Amino acid sequence: MGFTLKNRFALVTGASSGIGHAIAVELAKRGCNLFLVARREELLRDLSVSLAESYGVDVKWLPLDLTSAGAAVELAAQLEPLPVSIVVNNAGFAVAGSFESSEVDALSRMIALNINFLTVFTRLMLPRLKAMTDGARILNVGSVAGHQGVPYMAAYAASKAYVNHFTEGLNWELRGTPVIATCLEPGQTASDFFDVAGVSHSFMAQFGVLRPQVVARKGVQVMVKGKTRYVVGFMNKLLIFSLRITPRPLVRIVITRLFRDWA
């Protein structure tokens, strides 16, 4: 029998909006119990109550700033009593604009969340996941941006390259264990992501935008199937293929022109 979601317990970070919200809904629809984490307490509480009432699943929630020191240790401790067999590392944000003009504090918080928290928390949860004899899953949300250096979003793209490659390497390392790690790699997705980055009116924020429900549905599907990496959307797949065959000087010119209005 394959990996099933019903009656399991899943942890979803960044669950109050966007892709994280949609993943929480998708998992609840499939009978999965949830532990939801995000900063915005009111949104988190409303979502938790709604999912519990709509789908009859057990939903716990915790408002927590995952950029804070010790957040990974605190969250892992909160999960200790629960049989969590699915970890969805979705929380993340971007700092856009020229690197030189970026606020140092914002860059530090982005790296703390996109890289440090994800890495440490995954390490803390891994022994518990490996103890799940009926299988376990890790779903890390990377990005198409992680396939290429991106001017005016250089640090963000680099952080997502880390997520993409970390997940792939970890999954290879986990061969022969009950745990499979999957990296979901969406492109532009309708959410408050671009508002946080401060570029919601840019061309790139409005071109080829995917609905978070579509991204979540594909993400859950490929996680269950145990795929290592999955790029969401035909145009995104085409973009990544074109990056492999296009001369680098031309890639630099095109991407710089596309993103320069973010500076």
Other Cβ atoms within 10 Å of 112 Cβ, number: 19
Catalytic (active site) residue 156? yes
Note whether 170 and 115 are within 8 A (CB): no
As a whole number of angstroms, the distance between CA 149 and CA 154 comes to 6
As a whole number of angstroms, the distance between CA 235 and CA 152 comes to 22
Q: Which residues contact 115 (CB under 8 A, 6 or more apart)?
A: 159, 162, 163
Structure tokens belonging to residue 258: 């596309």
Kindly list the strands in the beta sheet with 84-89, ordered across the sheet, starting from the edge strand earlier in the chain: 59-63, 33-38, 9-13, 84-89, 136-141, 179-185, 229-231
> Residue 141 forms beta bridges with which residues?
184
Residues with catalytic roles:
156
